[in-house]
Amino acid sequence: MSRLARVATISVHTSPLDQPGTGDAGGMNVYIVEVAKRLAERGIEVDLFTRATSRALPPDVELAPGVMVRHVTAGPLEELDKSELPRQMCAFTSGLLRTEAAHEPGHYDLIHSHYWLSGQAGHAARLRWGVPLVHSMHTLAKVKNAALAEGDAPEPLGRVLGEQRVVESADRLIANTADEAEQLRTLYDADPHQVQTVLPGVDLRTFTPEDTEEARHRLGVPQDRAMLLFVGRIQPLKAPDVLVRAAAALVEREPRLRERLLVTVVGGPSGSGRTRPTELVELAARLGVADVMRFEPPCPQAELADWYRAADVTVVPSHSESFGLVAVESQACGTPVVAAGVGGLRTAVRDGESGVLVRGHDPVDYARVLADLLGAPGRLRRMSAAAVRHSRAFGWQTTVDRLLEVYTQAVGERAMAASA
């Protein structure tokens, strides 16, 4: 490991300093931050490159000891929609290359880029610096387009082509699950040797099972409520509307449940959801369940852990999910999960033990599953214990152990190729 001293991490479209749960910030932000911190704890410096979106932030910000966020000026100093970012990639890449040029050759040992836009910049840096490029897609355009939510716009052809170029140029592709690895091989013709599966992690020091009553007291949640929880960005892809419609089906099925049902949504508008920021509130009113809803903004992880602990069930009805960090965080806090049986959620949730996977997105199916669970407290307690056990396989230290294996392989192969 002495040959790996400094990593350049690239995240063009969302800053690791952003609060997950709104805008474009989500599980990828958590992934980047947690991995960087743990690499630094092992003596590997990390520079996180992201596009500057505010004059209020200095060019360089220390995120943690050994971890620096480098703001690259590329386009206007404001948040841009992801569709506008490809036009800023030349400026971003130039800024990235200038940073390295200010140091002695060989300043960085490896590049890890996240999301396809970052992979474009990573490819140019790989060629200039002569170091390996490791890339994480996090989501795939072809997969998202195949499971498009109603009212959501398909990913453009430019992204599909851009992802293909990244696949062709990266030394290693990190897949979150075996399903994603297979999608990279079959949909993008990735070399099997190139694709490595590394399960994301969860902060098991923050997300822990604690007393539900105390968590509810801290959050102002009545102790007698049957609480369902949604955490994440409010956009069609994440399907929070499925939970609202399921709540309406629940109270229609069991009218007495209305008196104690509480459906809490923690998150903010994102993606196409930002064009209709009040749509979920309006949907609840139209369906007659506004009285059982509670909407909360994104919050720091310590508070988020309390929301998981306070809930009886966390619902993750996404149309597409490369992993499902919310599902693992919830289980680590001892709260079972009802999730869509798609993508990485099939890995994140142990169906029938730590939660229930639902085929499709019919709110009536979700209502039936939720009614069964809320009516069986003994089963919920058994699932809670199983959820905690299942989550223990997803610690960030395990993720970083595996990433370092991939990094070392890539660096070693590049060194051998250079000396041949």
pLDDT digit string (tens) for the chain, length 420 residues: 447 999 999 999 999 999 888 778 888 999 999 999 999 999 999 999 999 998 888 999 999 999 999 999 999 988 888 889 999 999 999 999 998 888 888 899 999 999 999 999 999 999 999 999 999 999 999 999 998 888 788 999 999 999 999 999 999 999 999 999 999 999 999 999 999 999 999 999 999 999 999 999 999 999 999 999 999 999 999 999 999 999 999 999 999 999 999 999 999 887 655 667 799 999 999 999 999 999 999 999 999 999 999 999 999 999 999 899 999 999 999 999 999 999 999 999 999 999 999 999 999 999 999 999 999 999 999 999 999 999 999 999 999 999 999 999 999 999 888 887
- Does residue 31 have a known ligand-binding role? no
In the prediction, which pLDDT does 274 show? 61
288 is in an annotated binding site: no
Nearest to 254 by CA among 282, 220, 292: 292
294 labelled binding-site residue = no
Q: Is 108 a known ligand-binding residue?
A: no
pLDDT at 104: 87
Which string of DSSP letters, residue by residue, matches 163-223?
HHHHHHH-SEEEESSHHHHHHHHHHH---TTTEEE----B-TTTS----HHHHHHHHT--T
Which of these, 171, 166, 139, 136, lies nearest to 152 by C-alpha position?
139
Report DSSP letters for 301-342, one per residue: HHHHHHHHHH-SEEEE--S--SS-HHHHHHHHTT--EEEES-
- Residues 44 and 406: their CA atoms lie apart, in Å, by 15
d(C-alpha 61, C-alpha 103), whole Å: 18
| 2-41 CB burial, b ≥16 within 10 A, e <16 | eebebbbbbbbbbbbbbebbbbbbbbbbbbbbbbbbbbbe
Is residue 115 a known part of a binding site? yes
**Judging by beta carbons within 10 Å of its beta carbon (0-12, 13-18, 19+), is residue 359 exposed, middle or buried?**
exposed
Residue 147 known to bind ligand: no
Annotated binding residue 159: yes
Q: Quick one: pLDDT at residue 25?
A: 80
Q: Does 329 count as an annotated binding residue?
A: yes
Q: Is 269 annotated as a binding residue?
A: no
pTM of the full structure? 0.92
- Determine whether the annotation assigns residue 19 to a binding site: yes
CA 286 from chain centre, in angstroms, equals 31
Is 26 marked as a binding-site residue?
A: yes
CA–CA distance, 21 with 214 (Å, rounded to integer) = 24
Q: Is 24 annotated as a binding residue?
A: yes
CA distance 311 to 330: 9
CA dihedral 373, 377, 382, 386 (to 10 degrees): 50
Residue 321 is labelled as binding a ligand: yes
Q: Under a CB-based contact definition with an 8 Å cutoff, are residues 380 and 344 in contact?
A: no
- Give the separation between CA 122 and CA 45, rounded to whole angstroms: 18
- For residue 335, say whether it is annotated as part of any ligand binding site: yes
Parallel/antiparallel/unpaired status of strands 67-72 and 60-64: antiparallel
Residue 202 has what pLDDT?
95
- Tell whether residue 359 is among the known ligand binding residues: no
25 labeled binding residue:
yes
* CB-based burial label for 208 (10 Å; 0-12, 13-18, 19+): middle
Query: Would you say 99 is a known binding-site residue?
Result: no
Distance of CA 198 to the CA centre of its chain: 14
Q: For position 230, what pLDDT does the model report?
A: 98
- 139 marked ligand binding residue: yes
* Residue 13 is assigned to a ligand binding site: yes
- Cα separation, 228 vs 120, whole angstroms: 40
